[in-house]
Amino acid sequence: MSEARNKRESASWDARLFLRLWEFVRPHQHLLWIGLGLLLLTSGARLLSTYLVKIAIDDHLIPGVQQGLMGLLMAFAGVNLVELLARRSQMLTIDRAGHNALRDLRCKLFRHLQKQSARFYDKHRTGTLVGRITTDVEALYELFSSGVVTILGDVFFLTATIAILLSLDWRLTLVTMTVVPVLLLATTIIRRYVRSAYETMRSRTGQMNGFLHENVGGMSLIQIFRREHKARGEFTEINTGVRDAQLSTVVWESTLSATTEMLGSFTTALILWYGGGLVVESMGGPRPADLGSWSGGLTLGILYSFVDYMQKFFTPLSDLSQKYTVLQNAMTAGSRIFGLFDTDESIKEAEHPVEAPPARGLIEFRDVHFAYDPSEPVLRGLSFRLEAGERVAVVGATGAGKTTLMKLLTRLYDVDAAADGTRAGGVFLDGVDVRDWRLNALRQRVGVVQQEPFLFEGTVLDNIRLGQSHVDPKLARAAATRLGLDECLERLPRGYDEPILERGKNLSAGEKQLVAFARILASEPEVLVLDEATANVDSHTEALLQSAEKEVLRGRTSLIIAHRLSTVIDADRILVMQKGEIVEQGNHESLMQQRGLYWRLCKLQLGSAGAGDAEQAEAGASLNT
Amino acid sequence: MTRDFLLLWPHLKRYRWRYGLGALCLAGAVASRIAIPYFLGESIDTLRAGAERETELGDSGLGAQSIKSLVLWGAGSIVVAAAIGALIRTASRILILGTSRRVVSDVRRDLFDHLLRLSPSFYIENTTGELMSRCVNDVRNVQGLMGPVFMYLAETAVVYLFCLTVMASKSPDLTLICVLPIPLFVISSRFLAGRIQRGSRRAQAKLAEVSAKTDESISGHTVVQALGIEALDAERFDKRAEEYRELNLEVTRARGVLSPLMGGLAALCLLLVLAVGGPRVMRGELSLGDFISILFYLQMLAAPTGVMGFVISSLQRGRAALRRLCEVFDADLTMLDPAGPGPAPDKGGGLSVRDLSITLGGSERRLSDGEGTTQERLPERLVLEGIDFEVQPGKTLGIVGLTGSGKTTLLRVLARELEVDAGSVFLGGRDVTELRLDDVRSRVGYVPQETFLFSKSLAENVSLGRIEATREEILRAAEDSRLSEDLDQLPDGLETMLGERGVNLSGGQRQRTALARVLLLDPELLLLDDTLSAVDAHTAEEIMERLRPLMAGRTTVIVSHHLAHLSAADEIIVLEDGRIGERGSHEQLLAQSGFYKGLWERQEMRERLEREVESFEGDVS
């Protein structure tokens, strides 16, 4: 219901909206103009076709003139052929213009979304954004498919019809046209009822589907609690509501179509009555009477053409209010889409990015403040340094801010500015603030392995070479072989060329990890951020993963969000984080001697070491709890 | 096939008067439509006759007057025919289309009624999404079959019958010539409609891909950005957007043939009338009025021909949907009461399980979609094997085991959700398969692992099994399950609306609601399936504390990973791959140094450490 209200509120005649939409149509406007031209041709041919029949009646059938009839028939066939061809081409060109423009709009919107930072995505739900790119763009397409775009063609057709009718007989035209306001008024009013009946039906149907979804999903509960009777009663009520709403749409739609048809027939009667009168009157006129041929009077052919023209006249006229609805919906969709374009929270590259400094692998966090939500600071003045080639493990409880480190280094988020808006502190890579780096260069230099590697469509090999199309496939494969991926992929029929299913569901968690490691080996970044997986894998894969991790870490400055004890023990330095601050640091031995938080965390981990794999996950015993 | 239509028969029978009257009105409406060109033609003949007489006799005045009145009579007849036509046309639509809505609404009610009685195994084999598709899409297609398709076919038949009769009475051979091209157009319309609908389905599927791709990229945006593969990812999106555009244009190409083709049909018919009928009018063999009325009749015939293809497609889709609905109606019902149910078990009886084995899967699963049906056989799996135990009245049995060891299946069998395959289950000394379902279920309180809440108020969710419960009873159940302590955090307390339009409860709150729901029933046999897994340790302890006196009076089976909750049980069994691996009291199991002991020690140590870490965190902050 609120949806419907929103629709009305935002469906304003906003010229700027049209201009913005026009930006996307402009590159394809030639198609639109051609289509419009063809539409005029079609309209002209339709009008001419009726006129030719009128000539046939008046000049040949009634006076009995055989001569020229053949030619007339040929012309009739020709005109109709032209109309058909023109109509076909017009449909194709207009539709092509629409689909081209909206494809461009879609692709541009997608790119806009792509650029947005994680902050943007914190605020917008995925489902809503997907709706913008699909449903809302479709609503704009309706402008093309329903003929709103070609309304000029309708206007031409209606005007031309009136002009022809006036030239045939102005009195009869005026009388006939009295039906038009009645038709417009009637269709507009009835359509309003049709629309509101449909709205009720849609909302009730949605309610019913929700009920069904919930009850089918919770069926076992209904059965156990013996609620069948109650559920049946509720459904009957909802179902009856849907049925009644449907019945009301049937009533109003039937009324609409019957009224339109009735008014059409009334028009015929009107033409016959008044026109017939004119025909009779002209009989009494001074001219000798060959009914078909004298000018000025009303002929039977004209009578026929009036009836036929008015039938053709009614269709676009009664569609007008429908087109208005389409237009309103499109305006709403358009304002939502362009509203999204106007929201820009992308991470911006510096205006004058610094040339990438020579690669050394130095990372420094200097007085870093950061909060996802201003009221809950995550990092409060964090500072630490990673020397070139150093391997640093970060440990701490969930919510201590470990993953945030990774997001700041790769610029998924930016470090919070000081209260006065100037830069306070920052994250530095090889001595340069990451905000001054060219984004591409930064992301080339920093490799990331996320906890749950995200695989994209394409083959396994494509995923290893993801974003590194310059890497020789052979090298990529060699890297994977080095990590022992060959053995895992044996079970897949096409091995490295096996297509990855949606979100990589045909690979196990361990295999996905290995693919992510192979990706790093192939792309050779100087700096590595590794968020160790907590997902439990079988012991064989675990061994493979451990050795793969060693391989990947070798010789790179690495920041590891560690969950595996062995990783932590092997690290050059360990940072123990708690509530956005580093509370302890040092190597394993020194920290154990301190008998602080680290020592306790270690004992916890050791306590569950050696437990069954599944049990380990269930007990949740790892360093980050 | 005919068997599928039998599903609709009782409904059709019930509404036969409406359908019959609707068909009658339809015929009347068509007749009034046919009448209009007829009156038009007659009036034109009158006008022409008048004109000819006038030229011959030079006589005006009276002749003109009578002609005028004749024409007025014709125009009046048209108005009357149109008005009556509009009325009965509306009536026929309301009767036929409306009745189709009634029929379908009844089918939907029956379907839901049937779903209410289907066995849990049916819901294991069919996902909610698939069933929704039956209830929504298939029912809609059947509605198309019963309403628009029926009406269109009836109307077209009547229009053809009437038009052809009237036309033939005016000029039989001319009618025949003009009607000749129509079948050709029906065939091509059929062909093109098929292409358009297949194309639209493909385009829709592609749009779903566009949507899935967007979803993937948005969900994985951090990865895309971290790897710097924006361009690559955008290309992949573009590819789909482009394919979608092309599929749509393909549909337009088919439409672009169909629509002009049907316009062409009208033009061709017109041309034939002009070419063949024109000379006859000149020779005086055919009156001008008849000629013009035939022109209009042909337009009437040409109009429905164009959509014939779509109607045939809808007919086919409706039939396929009907078949799929029949599949659901044919599915096995849930466990039924035994033919001669035994007397209800004595109150406060214990539970005894003898050599119970359960096999799941193995049934045929049909996956139907718009295109066809594929069959998939789910692998058969022995989930429980040779389970034996006994719980004396008022005693407690604890169950532990790894994920997939069969704990939940066991509880579902005890709750009479799954049928006993082999072996037997006795409740209060009686075999449950010989008892009425209601007698069993009214004694059992089962709290499943997954809590399902309905979009109703919290109070209604709690009183699910006893609508008549008083507020005090609900509050007491909420108190016992410690749901009460969260009530003031919820906007409207017990009246807070849950679900889509309401508040989302936390995992712990959900579980406590499920517990309250069962406690309200005051069951003799309490089955708890890892009920406190999402409740924090402190609250869980409190709940267990409150449950203990409640459990004292009833037979209880608890599944839990948290051994502290089980330690007071009279017997504990450890399930390993569907068999009982270890059994005994807490102390006995600890003495065995098996799985149970290992798990106990780890949990002990973890708790101790957690307490330490907590106190440590207290130090720093």
Q: In percent, how much of chain B has pLDDT > 70?
A: 88
**Predicted TM-score (pTM) of this structure:** 0.72
Q: Average of pLDDT values for B571-579?
A: 85
Give a yes or no: residue B353 inside a domain: no
Q: Average of pLDDT values for B369-392?
A: 69
At A606 the pLDDT is 47
- Say whether B558 sits in a helix, a strand or coil: strand
What CATH code is carried by the domain that includes residue B515? 3.40.50.300
A489 closest CA partner among A557, A544, A564, A550? A544
Sort out which chain B residues have CB atoms less than 8 A from A601's CB and list them. Answer: 613
Last residue of a domain, one of B295, B329, B363: B329
pLDDT in tens, B124-134: 777 777 788 88
The angle at the Cα of A284, spanning A279 to A289, to the nearest 5 degrees, equals 75
Give a yes or no: residue B542 inside a domain: yes
At B316 the pLDDT is 83
Calculate helix-pair angle for B288-330, B172-179, nearest 10 degrees: 50
Contact A61 B288 (CB under 8 A): yes
Q: Which residue has the higher pLDDT, B327 or A622?
A: B327
pLDDT in tens, B1-18: 567 777 888 888 889 899
Residue B314 to chain A, least CA–CA distance (Å): 19
| B302 and B410 share one domain | no
Q: What gap in Å lies between CA A518 and CA A522, rounded to an integer?
A: 6
Burial of B549 per CB tally in 10 Å (0-12, 13-18, 19+): exposed
Contact B230 A106 (CB under 8 A): no
| B567 and B462 share one domain | yes
Is the pLDDT at B474 greater than 80? The verdict is: yes
Q: What gap in Å lies between CA A57 and CA A239, rounded to an integer?
A: 57
Q: How many pairs of residues across A and B have Cβ atoms under 8 Å apart?
A: 409
Last residue of a domain, one of B307, B329, B351: B329
Two tokens, residue A86: 């023109």
Residue with tokens 């599927």: B205
At B611 the pLDDT is 62
Is the pLDDT at B84 greater than 90? The verdict is: yes
What CATH code is carried by the domain that includes residue B176? 1.20.1560.10
CA A527 to chain centroid, in Å, comes to: 36
Two tokens, residue A271: 């033409």
Last residue of a domain, one of B329, B344, B367: B329
Q: In percent, how much of chain B has pLDDT > 90?
A: 6
Banded pLDDT at B503 (limits 50, 70, 90): low
Pick among A224, A398, A500, A578 to test the B interface (most B CBs inside 10 A): A224
Buried b (16+ CB within 10 A) or exposed e, A376-409: ebbbeebebebeeebbbbbbbbeebbbbbbbbbb
Q: What is the DSSP string of A85-118?
A: HHHHHHHHHHHHHHHHHHHHHHHHHHHHHHHB-H
Contact A273 B464 (CB under 8 A): no
Sort out which chain A residues have CB atoms less than 8 A from B598's CB and list them. Answer: 611
Contact A107 B281 (CB under 8 A): no
Give a yes or no: residue B336 inside a domain: no
Q: What gap in Å lies between CA B193 and CA B307, rounded to an integer?
A: 8
B44 closest CA partner among A171, A285, A275, A63? A275
Q: Average of pLDDT values for B506-530?
A: 84
According to DSSP, the β-strands at B351-360 and B381-391 are: antiparallel
Burial of B335 per CB tally in 10 Å (0-12, 13-18, 19+): buried
Q: Average of pLDDT values for B591-608?
A: 78
Q: What gap in Å lies between CA B574 and CA B560, rounded to an integer?
A: 11
| B400 and B315 share one domain | no
| B308 and B392 share one domain | no
| Chain A residue at shortest CA distance from B232 | A467
| B112 and B256 share one domain | yes
Contact B105 A615 (CB under 8 A): no
Instruction: Extract the residue ranges of chain A whose pLDDT is less than 50.
Output: 1-12, 285-296, 606-625
- Say whether B196 sits in a helix, a strand or coil: helix
| Chain B residue at shortest CA distance from A303 | B44
Cβ–Cβ < 8 Å for A497, A461: yes
Q: What gap in Å lies between CA A32 and CA A39, rounded to an integer?
A: 10
HEC profile of A443-510: HHHEEEECCCCCCCCCEHHHHHCCCCCCCCHHHHHHHHHHCCHHHHHCCCCCHHHCECCHHHCCCCHH
| The amino acid at A11 | A
- Say whether A596 sits in a helix, a strand or coil: coil
Two tokens, residue A479: 């890297």
Neighbours of A170 (CB within 10 A): 10
Cβ–Cβ < 8 Å for B469, A234: no
Domain range spanning residue B609? 386-620
The angle at the Cα of B44, spanning B41 to B46, to the nearest 5 degrees, equals 110
Give a yes or no: residue B439 inside a domain: yes
Give a yes or no: residue B38 inside a domain: yes
| Chain A residue at shortest CA distance from B50 | A280
Give a yes or no: residue B497 inside a domain: yes
Give a yes or no: residue B3 inside a domain: no
| Chain B residue at shortest CA distance from A107 | B238
| B394 and B325 share one domain | no
Buried b (16+ CB within 10 A) or exposed e, A305-321: bbbbbbbbbbebbbbeb
At B619 the pLDDT is 43
At A5 the pLDDT is 43
Residues facing residue A385 across a β-bridge: A364
ipTM reported for the complex surpasses 0.90 = no
Give a yes or no: residue B355 inside a domain: no
Sort out which chain B residues have CB atoms less than 8 A from A272's CB and list them. Answer: 39-40, 43, 71, 74-75, 78
Residue B56 to chain A, least CA–CA distance (Å): 10
Two tokens, residue B46: 């009158």
Domain count of the fold of chain B: 2
Cβ–Cβ < 8 Å for B48, A62: yes
According to DSSP, the β-strands at B555-559 and B525-529 are: parallel
At A251 the pLDDT is 93
Q: Average of pLDDT values for B69-85?
A: 89
At A283 the pLDDT is 61
Q: What gap in Å lies between CA A251 and CA B94, rounded to an integer?
A: 6
Residue with tokens 């009982």: B580
B447 closest CA partner among B398, B510, B494? B510
Q: What gap in Å lies between CA A310 and CA B212, rounded to an integer?
A: 48
**Which one of B39, B101, B236 has the shortest CB-CB distance to A246?**
B101
Pick among A183, A202, A237, A272 to test the B interface (most B CBs inside 10 A): A272
| B318 and B391 share one domain | no
Length of chain B: 621
Q: How many angstroms separate the Cα of B224 from the Cα of each of A116, A401, B131, B238?
A: 11, 22, 36, 16
pLDDT in tens, B168-186: 888 888 888 888 888 888 8
| B272 and B410 share one domain | no
Q: CB within 8 A of A69, min separation 6: which ones?
A: A56, A60, B278, B279
At A241 the pLDDT is 93
Neighbours of B48 (CB within 10 A): 18
Two tokens, residue B274: 């002009």
Looking at every residue in chain B, the average pLDDT score rounds to 81
| B162 and B30 share one domain | yes
| B587 and B461 share one domain | yes
| B435 and B508 share one domain | yes
- Say whether B48 sits in a helix, a strand or coil: helix
| B426 and B552 share one domain | yes
Contact B620 A583 (CB under 8 A): yes
